[in-house]
Amino acid sequence: EADIYQTPRYLVIGTGKKITLECSQTMGHDKMYWYQQDPGMELHLIHYSYGVNSTEKGDLSSESTVSRIRTEHFPLTLESARPSHTSQYLCASSEPNKNGYTFGSGTRLTVV
Amino acid sequence: GQNIDQPTEMTATEGAIVQINCTYQTSGFNGLFWYQQHAGEAPTFLSYNVLDGLEEKGRFSSFLSRSKGYSYLLLKELQMKDSASYLCAAPTPNDYKLSFGAGTTVTVRA
């Protein structure tokens, strides 16, 4: 059973719209991450957080922003969506010094 | 940063064995992960190696050689449901962010 939830699962929106991708986890993990993955390509880290009020940019530059006001919630926002933002966005969390990440089911975003 | 290389794709028949190799060059070492990702789904954890040697988990085994910067994932008695992408990943030593390889797409044929 998934303990990390992403909504929506699929989203098709028009260019210029503002969107927020939701990610919540019930495991009490401090560390949370957002990855972007194009079909058949590798995962790229775009944002991460080590706890409340902590957010950092990842290795891949992204026009999105994130916030971490509560431990369990790590939403990602695009102020003005463009077709180049079309991708799959995966949220993950981990415990300190524990093995591996737990991933959400992902949001597949299409901007038309 | 982490530099991780693995083959793009492999094909095998049902019941066979496939070995997926991964080489890595990391700034420090804090273990190596393998994940399975079915098309359109999220990655799921398969294995974690931090010491040299082979770790066996049912039909899947993972091997690590730290001196060679090399790991492999061994899939035995292949089943059709094993068709997926297999991702090699390594965390950065200090902050534990995971860097992923591009993934190896394994296709199992009847």
pLDDT tens for each residue of B40-75 = 888 999 999 999 999 999 999 999 999 999 999 999
Query: Higher-confidence residue: A24 or B3?
Result: A24
pLDDT classification of A2: cutoffs 50, 70, 90? low
> B residues 75-104 near A, CB within 8 Å?
87, 95-103
Note the pLDDT tens digit of each residue in A59-85. 888 899 999 999 999 999 999 999 999
For every residue of B6-63, DSSP letters joined together read --SEEEEETT--EEEEEEEEESS---EEEEEE-TTS--EEEEEE-SSEEEEETTEEEE
Give Cα separations from A92 to A27, A30, B31, B100 (angstroms).
11, 11, 18, 13
How far is C-alpha B60 from the geometric centre of its chain's CA atoms? 10
**Contact between B32 and B49 (Cβ < 8 Å):** yes
Instruction: Read off the pLDDT of each residue in A92-97 and give the average, rounded to a whole number.
Output: 82
B91 to chain A, closest Cα gap in Å: 9
Lowest mean pLDDT among A25-29, A60-64, A96-100: A96-100
Of the candidates B31, B33, B97, the beta carbon closest to that of A45 is on B97
Amino acid at B17: I
CB atoms within 10 A of CB A51: 13
Q: Using CA atoms, how far apart are residues A33 and A45, in angstroms rounded to an integer?
A: 7
**Token pair belonging to A1:** 């059973």
End-to-end CA distance of chain A: 33
Cβ contact, residue pair A45, B98, below 8 Å = yes
Does the pLDDT value for residue A1 go beyond 80?
no
> A residues 70-99 near B, CB within 8 Å?
88, 90, 94, 96-97, 99
Task: For residue A106, give the nearest of B98, B40, B100 by alpha carbon.
Answer: B40
Q: Using CA atoms, how far apart are residues A66 and A46, in angstroms rounded to an integer?
A: 10
Q: Tell me, what's the pLDDT at B98? A: 86
CB atoms within 10 A of CB B81: 8
Task: For residue A88, give the nearest of A5, A8, A32 by alpha carbon.
Answer: A8
Of the candidates A59, A97, A106, the beta carbon closest to that of B42 is on A106
For every residue of A31-75, DSSP letters joined together read EEEEEEE-TTS-EEEEEEEEETTEEEE-SS--S-EE--SBTTB--
Of the candidates B40, B45, B101, the beta carbon closest to that of A100 is on B45
pLDDT classification of B28: cutoffs 50, 70, 90? confident
Q: Tell me, what's the pLDDT at A35? A: 95
- In sequence order, what are the beta bridge partners of A5? A24
Note the pLDDT tens digit of each residue in B87-104. 999 887 776 788 899 999
